[in-house]
Amino acid sequence: MEIRLDGQVALVTGGSRGIGKAIARTLAEAGAQVMITSRKAEACEAAAREIGPNAHFEAGHIGRDEDAERVIEATLDRLGRIDVLVNNAATNPWAGPTIEVDRARWDKTFATNLTAPLFWTQRIWRRWMKENGGSVINIASVGGFATSPILGVYDITKAAMIHMTKQLAAELGPKVRVNALAPGLVKTDFARTLWEDGKGEQVAKAYPLERLGEVEDVAGAALFLAAETGRWITGQTWVLDGGGLCAYRSTA
């Protein structure tokens, strides 16, 4: 089955690398015009050039209101519509027990991972999707379903994003669908410290599918949800983790 997005416009935050760039590429290859945004203009331009003529860019900081307004207006001015929003940009400035986090890094993690996706969605809903419909895809994490000795703060924001996805789906239907993807460990630069130096192989051994995720695994799911194939799906979080959540756990 070929899934197409011809005539559609998608905006992907954090779209210059990793999962975001893979999603942007996949949506563009399916026929969508894709606006890539992230903090660094050079990285956005390089990603758009690599993806091809269906990719465009407007740099901006995910957490700055004025940048959000500018990126959204540039998308509407240049491409005419916004049918798909992918809230992918995220940060993780703290690694360690949640009880030890300082206020500045707690606030930064929530501002980027939760507050920004909400208000980007709000702006695009008001400017386009309220009248014309659309699909919002939030990139959460399998960590939102579990605990972690070092990623607790990050995972708390992703657990909140999973609930926010359900809340917004309830509020924005029937014209707008809101779903989330919750990847397990994917081989990206963002997650490099978790999989480099052989650590990834140890994690993969515990997965029923015995491998880590690739960015294309997430991108394919995003395409399905963005297109007509996902037309009766909203408020859901799809776990993409090679079976990690259902793997056997030691009781020793």
- Catalytic status, residue 248: no
Report angle CA 26, 113, 83 to the nearest 5 degrees.
40
pLDDT tens readout for residues 130-151: 999 999 999 999 999 999 999 9
Q: What is the mean pLDDT of the chain?
A: 93
pLDDT tens readout for residues 181-200: 999 988 776 665 665 656 66
3-state secondary structure string across the chain: CCCCCCCCEEEEECCCCHHHHHHHHHHHHCCCEEEEECCCHHHHHHHHHHHCCCEEECCCCCCCHHHHHHHHHHHHHHHCCCCEEEECCCCCCCCCCHHHCCHHHHHHHHHHHHHHHHHHHHHHHHHHHHHHCEEEEEECCHHHHCCCCCCHHHHHHHHHHHHHHHHHHHHHCCCEEEEEEEECCECCCCCHHHHCCCHHHHHHHCCCCCCCECHHHHHHHHHHHHCHHHCCCCCCEEEECCCHHHCCCCCC
Instruction: Sketch out the chain's domains with CATH numbers.
Output: 9-236 (3.40.50.720)
Position of tokens 């240049």? 78
Question: Using N-to-C axis directions, what is the helix angle for 65-79 and 116-124, rounded to 10°?
Answer: 40
One of 94, 128, 154, 195 is an active-site residue; which one?
154
pLDDT at 252: 47
pTM score, two decimals? 0.94
pLDDT tens readout for residues 170-182: 999 999 999 999 9
pLDDT tens readout for residues 86-101: 999 999 999 999 999 9
